[in-house]
Structure 1
Amino acid sequence: MPLIKRGIEPTNLSRSHVSSGVKNELECVTNNTLANVIRQLSSLSKHAEDMFGELYNETGSVLRRANQLQDRVDKLKVKVTQLDSTVEEGQYSVWHVRTYALVI
């Protein structure tokens, strides 16, 4: 069963009680229907503004996260370019031997 996040009101545009003293019933129903259509469009507009606001906030969040990831990638690029493969390999093998010696 879906949960309704936003509901547009009024749903029944032409359902209204016409007073017995009204001279032109058709005009009364037409005016009420038009007024309800305007209310419905107003409700739709409000929900559209809410949706675009949420979309704006979400895209801002994605942009911040993407910028943070780009900063991390840039830092890693700098570190990788500074690496000297011969020095690092020797240091790694010494560290590996020391770790192995501690395990035994």
Structure 2
Amino acid sequence: MPEINKQRAPLVHLSNSIAGLSEAASRVGQYILGNPEKVVRQTVAELAGFTHSGQASVVRLCRQLGFNGFSDFKLALMAELAATNQQSLTGKDNDESHSNALMQRLRYLSS
């Protein structure tokens, strides 16, 4: 599967590529799409356990989507979730609101 540019919307890219994934990667992908808020708080081992797949399958999926690994994927996922939440709260769709939402989300997850 070719690598996808994922920088802005990893959930959108995952959703668009899910049909071409292996069985294990598809299970992981479906779980991520259904539980993105949970995934940002899970370890690779936890995600693998919830999806009845191996940790290597989780990391492989992240790399197929163009990320360096699971941590890199989670950071982009957090940014996407924060931007989506900010847009729904303010109705704005601009870079400043994306940046502010990301910073708020990262502070929340760090606490």
Provide the TM-score with structure 1 as the length reference.
Answer: 0.28
Normalised to the residue count of structure 2, the TM-score between the two structures is 0.27
If asked which structure has higher relative contact order (CA below 8 Å, sep 6+), I would say 2
Larger Rg over CA atoms: 1
